[in-house]
DNA sequence: TCTGAAAATACAAACGTTTGCAAAAATAAC
DNA sequence: GTTATTTTTGCAAACGTTTGTATTTTCAGA
């Protein structure tokens, strides 16, 4: 049994109550046009609107103005540690400007991703922030030609079709490798993220580059790719990597979850961190300072990433062709999962 | 420079292209009314719609049907460990039924909370899931009399105005206390959550009840309230609690973050866990198995909570006055932060 | 008091759908 | 080949706004 609630009060209701035409109500209620109506009448309208409990119907308004004041945000996994702070940043920046956000979870499933995107477009979002782009299954061009501007975040599709807000992983991974080299490590491997994600791919490239610049020997087994950015996949990849590189003294993990997976792998192999093997994470996720040993990581400011993406999107939605990509600068965070190698190779 | 994108294709466009009236297009496109149009024509319409790249305009459709297929979800803090899995569950259950979710972050700020709620109502959400209710600043009645049904989640406002999906904290805290008692603890204190949140209040009551049932002595200092469910507030409250109860051998923390705050407090006081003091957490948040010592906790199924809330909301939106509250059953998780007291009191 | 301009308001057409109802077309019954 | 039915389609009115244009009111200035 649903209670048959009375129909919502519309501008027409307010108009008749205030004894004016409803178009006048519209103008009085909208701060931008309020000065077109005589102040005293405007006041009366505002008053009766309040009394009747009038609340504007965005659907109607959006239909007419072609602006929904809603933006869509798609993340590959809401429940991961990485995205909540990003979402918080986005929501914060957008709400201030009167936008609300529909959030969708692509769950790393292309079909679901498609459904989420169409759902958002049908709902006439004014803009889109995508943290879910993959390199192997790119967003069709048509989306980029749409009414709604798109901003990529965290990951990029490297096509240049949309501005991206990403971290300077080249630098970030460089910091980690340099740190390990400074400690005296020579036998460093990389437990990488999936190659079909820009984050995975870039960090692999960064690892190779840093190694060659710092004269760390590299072979074709030095990089082992985890199938996803998860603790479980990290563990599996780490075990494989250690089997292939028995003399490893340090591991650069592609992100914190993978690093925690490496912890699990070491525990299983009865190796200790950092005494036997040093490990660096990436992202400096919440609570990695509480694990044992506290994880040395590379901090990226997730909230800032969200804020920045929102800012760019706002600019685009405002019709400004806001410039290029944004590269956020990461920061090294030293904790206790790294130490000089047991048998320095000199 | 915004590219003046061509106007989106509407039903009228499809209609003229297919040589029929646009109302026929409407019927052909809607699976529910498709059998009103001759199969062969329907096929032609579907075809041309696909060719022209037609996409329905939800705004117009919603305006007409008074159903937006959007629901609002308000959480007090997106970035906490607790809510992302809940959101994932909600999104999962709702998307399957064609709903998308606007998520709002009340940030524990009443004014912001109000803005988020009005924003959602203006956008004509079909339903609302609130995880943000507080006991001291209740949602005004008018919201509950609205078009959009409301479901409370995780917290309740104890007014019975809306169905709630919560955990059986009575049982959960009981499990923790019983465990400590079984280990031989007699001097147990509770570092509680804020009393103005139902979760804080209920767990305090649960603690008292369990203690009295299990003959654990209780005095007016046995419960110290943290000002929020955070690590920082937990630490402060814990220090205060230990000062007032120097002989404490075990702490029941109101949630995992507070428990981690207690870890911090013990570290500061040079006490060790679990040797000097045992600690139990609550929620079994991700990664509390990785902290040192791994935290004994009470698991609540967060995703299930989201799924359940979504299910109830779907039922209500469908006009079914779905029954009463849902009490989810928690589960004890033994790890290494609890051990028998050093000096068993017998 | 009247004229002309300016200010304030009302009118009405959109926006893109859905849907009751009327009209037309197809089919059945005779 | 009619008529009565049933399908199928078209028509037009909503849904609640915004906004260009027309109309009215107000108020100078003479």
Report which of A37, A57, A46 is spatially closest to residue A18, judged by C-alpha positions: A46
What average pLDDT does range A59-77 have in this prediction? 97
**pLDDT above 60 (res A2):** no
Contact, B14 CB vs strand C, < 7 Å: no
Report which of B167, B170, B168, B176 is spatially closest to residue B297, judged by C-alpha positions: B176
Residues contacting residue B54 through CB under 8 Å, at least 6 positions apart: B9, B10, B11, B13, B14, B29
Q: Which nucleotide is nearest to A27 if distance is taken from CA to C1'?
A: D18
Q: Which pLDDT tens digit goes with each residue over B263-295? A: 999 999 999 999 999 999 999 988 888 888 999
A53 versus B142: the higher-pLDDT residue is A53
Residues of B in contact with A103 (CB under 8 A): 87, 91, 101-103
Contact assignment for B60 to A55 by CB distance below 8 Å: no
B306 DSSP β-pair partners: none
Q: Which pLDDT tens digit goes with each residue over B236-250? A: 999 999 999 999 999
Q: Which pLDDT tens digit goes with each residue over B293-309? A: 999 999 999 999 999 99
A298 DSSP β-pair partners: A332
Q: How confident is the model at residue B158 (pLDDT cuts 50, 70, 90)?
A: confident
Q: Which pLDDT tens digit goes with each residue over B43-57? A: 999 999 999 999 999
* CATH topology match: A69-167+301-328 vs A169-300: yes
Q: Which nucleotide is nearest to B41 if distance is taken from CA to C1'?
A: D8
CATH no. for A169-300: 3.40.50.2300
Tell me the pLDDT of chain B averaged across its residues.
93
Q: Is B124 on the interface with A (CB under 8 A)?
A: yes
In the prediction, which pLDDT does B226 show? Answer: 98
**pLDDT above 80 (res B4):** no
**pLDDT above 90 (res B140):** no
A345 versus B172: the higher-pLDDT residue is B172
A80 versus A28: the higher-pLDDT residue is A28
What's the burial of A3, exposed, middle or buried (CB within 10 Å: 0-12/13-18/19+)? exposed
A333 DSSP β-pair partners: A297
What average pLDDT does range A55-80 have in this prediction? 96
Q: Which pLDDT tens digit goes with each residue over B25-38? A: 999 999 999 999 99
Residues of A in contact with B53 (CB under 8 A): 142
In the prediction, which pLDDT does A4 show? Answer: 52
**pLDDT above 60 (res B216):** yes
Q: Which pLDDT tens digit goes with each residue over A152-184? A: 999 998 888 899 999 999 999 999 999 999 999
Q: Does the domain spanning B69-167+301-328 belong to CATH 3.40.50.2300?
A: yes
Query: Regarding beta strands A331-333 and A297-299, do their DSSP bridges make them parallel or antiparallel, or are they unpaired?
Result: antiparallel
Q: Is A141 on the interface with B (CB under 8 A)?
A: no
Q: How confident is the model at residue B136 (pLDDT cuts 50, 70, 90)?
A: confident
In the prediction, which pLDDT does A345 show? Answer: 45
**pLDDT above 60 (res A3):** no
Q: Is B252 on the interface with A (CB under 8 A)?
A: no
What's the burial of A217, exposed, middle or buried (CB within 10 Å: 0-12/13-18/19+)? exposed
In the prediction, which pLDDT does B120 show? Answer: 97
Choose among A70, A84, A118: nearest Cβ to B79. Answer: A84
Distance CA B64, CA A205 (A): 53
What's the burial of A23, exposed, middle or buried (CB within 10 Å: 0-12/13-18/19+)? exposed
In the prediction, which pLDDT does A194 show? Answer: 96
A4 versus B18: the higher-pLDDT residue is B18
Q: How confident is the model at residue A343 (pLDDT cuts 50, 70, 90)?
A: low
Q: Are the CB atoms for A119 and A104 separated by under 8 Å? A: yes
Q: Does the domain spanning B11-56 belong to CATH 1.10.4030?
A: no
Q: How confident is the model at residue A289 (pLDDT cuts 50, 70, 90)?
A: confident
Distance CA B331, CA B325 (A): 19
* A115/chain B closest Cα distance in angstroms: 9
**pLDDT above 50 (res A323):** yes
In the prediction, which pLDDT does A73 show? Answer: 98
Structure tokens at B290: 């990785």
Q: How confident is the model at residue A259 (pLDDT cuts 50, 70, 90)?
A: very high
Q: How confident is the model at residue B321 (pLDDT cuts 50, 70, 90)?
A: confident
Q: How confident is the model at residue B346 (pLDDT cuts 50, 70, 90)?
A: very low
**pLDDT above 50 (res A304):** yes
Structure tokens at A254: 């592609």
B145 versus B10: the higher-pLDDT residue is B10
Contact assignment for A68 to B53 by CB distance below 8 Å: no
Neighbouring C-beta atoms of residue B205, cutoff 10 Å: 13
What average pLDDT does range B87-109 have in this prediction? 96
Q: How confident is the model at residue B319 (pLDDT cuts 50, 70, 90)?
A: confident
SS (H, E, C) chain B: CCCCCCCCCCHHHHHHHHCCCHHHHHHHHCCCCHHHCCHHHHHHHHHHHHHHCCCCCHHHHHHHHCCCCEEEEEECCCCCCCHHHHHHHHHHHHHHCCCEEEEEECCCCHHHHHHHHHHHHHCCCCEEEECCCCCCCCCCHHHHCCCCCEEEECCCCCCCCCCEEEECHHHHHHHHHHHHHHHCCCCEEEEECCCCCHHHHHHHHHHHHHHHHCCCCCCCCCEEECCCCCHHHHHHHHHHHHHHCCCCCEEEECCHHHHHHHHHHHHHCCCCCCCCCEEECCECCCCCCCECCCCEEEECCHHHHHHHHHHHHHHHHCCCCCCCCEEECCEEECCCCCCCCCCCCC
In the prediction, which pLDDT does B2 show? Answer: 44
Coil, helix or strand at residue A89: helix
Strands ordered across the beta sheet of A223-225? A223-225, A188-192, A250-253, A278-280
C1’ D21 / CA A46, Å: 26
Specify the DSSP class assigned to residue A243.
H
Report which of B279, B232, B211 is spatially closest to residue B251, judged by C-alpha positions: B279
Neighbouring C-beta atoms of residue B232, cutoff 10 Å: 15
In chain A, where the domains are located: 11-56, 69-167+301-328, 169-300
What average pLDDT does range B128-153 have in this prediction? 89
Residue B74 C-alpha from the chain's centroid: 9
Q: Is A68 on the interface with B (CB under 8 A)?
A: yes
Distance CA A91, CA B89 (A): 20
Q: Which pLDDT tens digit goes with each residue over A168-226? A: 999 999 999 999 999 999 999 999 999 999 999 999 999 999 999 999 999 999 999 99
Query: Regarding beta strands B127-130 and B150-153, do their DSSP bridges make them parallel or antiparallel, or are they unpaired?
Result: parallel
């Amino acid at each position: 049994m649903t209670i048959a609630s009375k129909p919502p009060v519309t501008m027409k209701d307010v108009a008749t109550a205030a004894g004016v035409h409803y178009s006048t109500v519209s103008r009085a209620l909208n701060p931008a046009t309020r000065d077109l109506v005589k102040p005293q009448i405007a006041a009366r309208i505002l008053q009766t609107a309040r009394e009747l409990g009038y609340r504007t119907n965005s659907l109607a308004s959006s239909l007419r103005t072609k602006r929904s004041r809603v933006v869509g945000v798609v993340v590959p996994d809401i429940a991961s540690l990485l995205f909540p702070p990003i979402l918080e940043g986005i929501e914060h920046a957008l709400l201030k400007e009167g936008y609300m956000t529909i959030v969708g979870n692509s769950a790393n499933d292309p079909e679901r991703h498609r459904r989420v995107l169409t759902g958002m477009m049908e709902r006439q979002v004014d803009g889109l922030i995508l943290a879910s782009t993959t390199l192997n299954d790119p967003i069709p061009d048509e989306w980029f030609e749409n009414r709604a501007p798109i901003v990529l975040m965290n990951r990029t599709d490297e096509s240049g079709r949309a501005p991206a807000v990403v971290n300077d992983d080249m630098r970030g991974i460089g910091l980690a490798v340099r740190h390990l080299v400074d400690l005296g490590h020579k036998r460093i491997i990389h437990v990488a993220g999936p190659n079909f994600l820009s984050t995975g791919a870039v960090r692999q490239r960064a690892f190779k580059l840093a190694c060659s610049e710092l004269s760390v020997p590299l072979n074709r087994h030095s990089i082992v790719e985890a199938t996803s950015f998860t603790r479980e996949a990290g563990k599996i990849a780490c075990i494989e990597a250690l089997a292939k590189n028995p003399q490893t003294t340090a591991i650069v993990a592609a992100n914190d979850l993978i690093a925690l997976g490496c912890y699990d792998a070491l525990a299983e192999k009865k190796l200790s961190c950092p005494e036997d093997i040093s490990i660096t994470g990436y992202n400096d996720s919440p609570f990695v300072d509480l694990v044992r040993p506290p994880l040395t990581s590379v901090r990226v400011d997730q909230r800032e990433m969200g804020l920045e993406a929102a800012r760019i999107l706002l600019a685009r939605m405002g019709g400004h062709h806001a410039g290029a990509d944004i590269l956020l600068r990461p920061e090294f965070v030293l904790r206790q999962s790294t130490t000089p190698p047991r048998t320095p190779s000199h």
